[in-house]
Amino acid sequence: MSKTIIISNRLPVQLQISDGGMSAIPSVGGLATGMKSVHDGKNSLWIGWSGLTEEDTPESLVPAIDKALAEQGCAQVSLTKEEVDGFYFGFSNRTIWPLFHYFLEYTEFELSFWETYRQVNQKFADAILAQSGPDDIIWVHDYQLMLVPQMVKEKNPGATIGFFLHIPFPSYEIFRTMPWREEVLQGLLGSDLIGFHTYDYERHFLSSVRRLLSLDVHFNDIYLDNRIIKVDSFPMGIDYKRFHEAAVANDQLKGKERSDLQKKLDDHKASAPGTKLILSIDRLDYSKGIAKRINAFEYFLRKYPEYKEKMRLIILAVPSRSNVPQYMLLKKEIDELVGRINGELSTVNWTPIWYFYRSMPFENLIDLYTSCDIAWLTPLRDGMNLVAKEYIATRTDKTGVLILSEMAGSAYEMNEALLINPNNFEQQADTLKRAFEMPKEEQMARNMFLQKRLERYNVEVWAQEFMSVLKNQKSEEQEQVVT
Ligand code: GDG
């Protein structure tokens, strides 16, 4: 009987020491939820890194960790600190991440990072090979593991392999700058199906395959030796029900039961009627355009001073990759910007920006989504951007305005949002004004369409659709090769 193996850099669980033993608590992130129907615990295995380096794991705990992981249908690839530095903080986040988000100036082409990336990808591939047979289905996730499909295919040609990239695939002109571009493409081409969030990323990938490897490409099929590799787009959805129901439950909570953050937000609304809250939530990452957004907010307040004291921007920036130099510099830049703007523009009754640099529990995320009149998301590049979708899902009365960068993958599916170019301050200032003034009926009409779409094409449907195309692809490929 065939089984399904899912593989991602991080496992979808958090390890916790409990009563002298170990337990693995399932994460509730988007990917983990979407994969629930695929990773059902019966005939599937999820392979990944636990988050603890070998140096941080006492040998005596390893059996307990393996047991706790096995109970969740997971198996770990153990990594040393040096491997994590070169593979994850190095090649993944100092080479591929900036390059694929069009930040050439931040991209480091460092041979030692590449070598560690290759070596660690081999470790992941070996872990799959140790567990898989020719009838198994393997789904590899994301940019940290782009060489894994080929490494597995070489040794287990019968396996059905799918790969999904969660970040953008850049245009050929950007991708071609990478010294190891052919190796990366060949690594991906070990797959039977390669999925992207949008048609544009798919197009960029096919163009690189055509131009760098001179392979035969017909529509979205790539012909390689006696194999046919399908490339397609699968825009990732969210767990709509979870977000929507949490917002409904939040609406029903009264008085004492409400969180401190919700009480603070309610007090703010009561004390300043007619004012509006703007929300942005992102990992603290240069690709998310946080610093530009703060500058654009200052531009707006100076262009339309009548909105001072009427609009407040809430920024939730979640700490991320904080030992990569660019992220440290960005943190400093944002701290300084917020300080300067609040210092220059605040009045006795009003602070323009509330800035939180932390991660918040899910309940507080819902408090923010449901209390803010406008969500303003300005990535300079973003594979998809799930925050935009989550904001819409929580608007139980259908009010709320989403201002979204056209550089986010989600903009392709969210035409009813107010789409902006994050580099255009003039346009954003006018859009903020328009969002403030937008009649409730218009907000509701726009969000009705968005909600319907998000509810239908949720993350579970996304995972199932990928799996079904993957299974079909393998059988079609076999038929075509035989005939
Ligand atoms: C990558 C791609 C693509 C955020 N702050 C908190 C918190 N979050 C949750 C949000 C959302 C997720 O994190 C962020 O997802 P995004 O899609 O916005 O961005 P990335 O982390 O960059 O994800 C991206 C995605 O992969 C999926 O393919 O969309 O383009 O870059 O779900 O809710 N959750 C909690 N507290 C927080 O403070 N609990």
Q: Which ligand 1 atom is at minimum distance from the Cα of 410? A: 29
CA geometry: angle at 198 spanning 193 and 200, to 5°? 100
pLDDT digits (tens, 9 = 90+) for 284-337: 999 999 999 999 999 999 999 999 999 999 999 999 998 899 999 999 999 999
Does position 411 have pLDDT exceeding 90, yes or no? Answer: yes
Q: Nearest C-alpha to atom 27 of ligand 1 is from which residue?
A: 166
Residue 480: its pLDDT value, please? Answer: 67
Task: Choose which residue among 31, 242, 283, 405 to substitute to test ligand 1 binding: the one with the highest number of ligand atoms within 8 A of its C-beta.
Answer: 283
Which pLDDT band holds residue 438 (cuts at 50, 70, 90)? very high
What pTM does this model have?
0.96
- Compute the average pLDDT of residues 7-34: 82
What percent of the chain has pLDDT above 70? 98
- Compute the average pLDDT of residues 216-242: 96
Q: Nearest C-alpha to atom 26 of ligand 1 is from which residue?
A: 166
For residue 281 and ligand 1, the question of a CB distance below 6 A is answered with yes
Residue 481: its pLDDT value, please? Answer: 57
Residue 256: its pLDDT value, please? Answer: 73
Q: Which residue has the higher pLDDT, 324 or 421?
A: 421
For residue 195, count other CB atoms closer than 10 A to its CB: 26
- Compute the average pLDDT of residues 72-82: 96
Does position 474 have pLDDT exceeding 80, yes or no? Answer: no
Does position 464 have pLDDT exceeding 90, yes or no? Answer: yes
Q: Which ligand 1 atom is at minimum distance from the Cα of 388? A: 18
- Asked whether the beta carbons of 74 and 11 are under 8 A apart, the reply is yes
